[in-house]
Amino acid sequence: MDGHHVGQNLGEGLERAAGLDAAGQQAGSQNGSRGAAPLDDAAAVPMGAEAFKATCERILASIGQVIDGQSDAARLALTVLLAQGHLLVEDVPGVGKTMLAKTLARTIDCSVSRIQFTPDLLPSDVTGVSIYNQATRQFEFRPGAVFANIVIGDEINRASAKTQSALLECMEEHQVTVDGTSYALGSPFMVVATQNPIEMEGTYPLPEAQRDRFMARISMGYPDAAAEAEMLETHQSDSPLLKVHPVVDAAEVRSMTATVKAVYVSGPVKEYTVALGRATRESPQLRLGASPRAVLQLLRAAKARAALSGRDFVLPDDVAAMAPAVLAHRLVLDRRAAGSGFSAAAVLGSIIESVPIPAAGQQRRRA
């Protein structure tokens, strides 16, 4: 298809990820629809604590071979993957946004595709299109680049809003609907999108509904002097991606996400999470606060952070630590606050400081 480039396959074919047979039809049927049910994540067996820790360390070590001096960004990307969310990487060109997305994808032995978003990209290039087969006299569905386990959306804000909206159903419901038929996406499914700041020429700001689909947004920033010098030493001859090999497969990722789901959240921690979300809606400096979806994703991200820290329960610190990455990009400043030079991150920081933290000990699993 014109307008997008499908990247390397890391173990499963595009059709296999989409559940399509060679004729382009969806394998199996459910409730009269050609759409096959996605893989049952609920059937995945949680991974043991030691195996979970060791696997996470291998993934982060693999990413660290390529991304110098960005350990926090790599850890957050892994957190979003394990929380079954989507990641938005925003920063100026040349700081490794796409490299982070590609490196994360290569650590997993599953299908990967890359979409280069451009102004002439069409929604059908992303989701797929039905084509008439003269031999069979039937329309056949040809899957788009979104039918993969890891989808890299490069410079997503260079495409029009119409094309950006093609990802809304995919990201929220893990399915694609074309000509009245729904096609299930594989599991795991994660969109890692990069974007340049909206002040850059030729970019379109993401609509609020699109930003709300991304669990977290991170900014890469510039590496320190030592990391940049190391980059000059190691990135001269060959692409550092050649050193990266898959360390987990799709089944192991599903087992790791099951481990995250099993992390315990106490009532006071849930109330604290809700209080943070409601405080953003009541702030006079914000025109748009966090949605209920944002609050839910904040708790999921906190559970993943707790698991990465080796705990089977969530602390209020997990919620507070994840709040800037999960909530800031969803907030819209009031005009007065924007005109006064405030930022959404600064307003959110003051909100986090003002919301009371549950008393120590209430967040742990009770005997």
Tens digits of residue pLDDT in 262-294: 999 999 999 999 999 999 999 999 999 999 999
Confidence band for 355, pLDDT divided at 50, 70 and 90? very high
- Buried residues in 18-38 as b, exposed as e (16+ CB within 10 A): bbbeeebbbeeeeeebbbbee
Q: Of the ranges 13-17, 156-160, 302-306, which one carries the lowest mean pLDDT score?
A: 13-17
Instruction: Check pLDDT > 60 for residue 248.
Output: yes
Computed over every residue of the chain, the mean pLDDT equals 82
Retrieve residue 288's tokens.
Answer: 């748009």
pLDDT at 236: 67
Q: Give tens-digit pLDDT for 229-239.
A: 777 777 666 77
Instruction: Check pLDDT > 50 for residue 6.
Output: no
pLDDT at 40: 55
Q: Greater confidence, 69 or 323? A: 323
- What integer is the mean pLDDT of 218-238? 75
List the one residue out of 52, 83, 102 whose CA is nearest residue 304.
83
- What integer is the mean pLDDT of 97-123? 88
pLDDT at 214: 95
pLDDT at 362: 52
List the one residue out of 245, 248, 264 whose CA is nearest residue 256.
248
End-to-end Cα, the chain, rounded Å: 57
Q: Give tens-digit pLDDT for 21-74.
A: 333 333 333 333 333 334 556 678 888 888 999 999 999 998 888 887 788 888
pLDDT at 360: 62
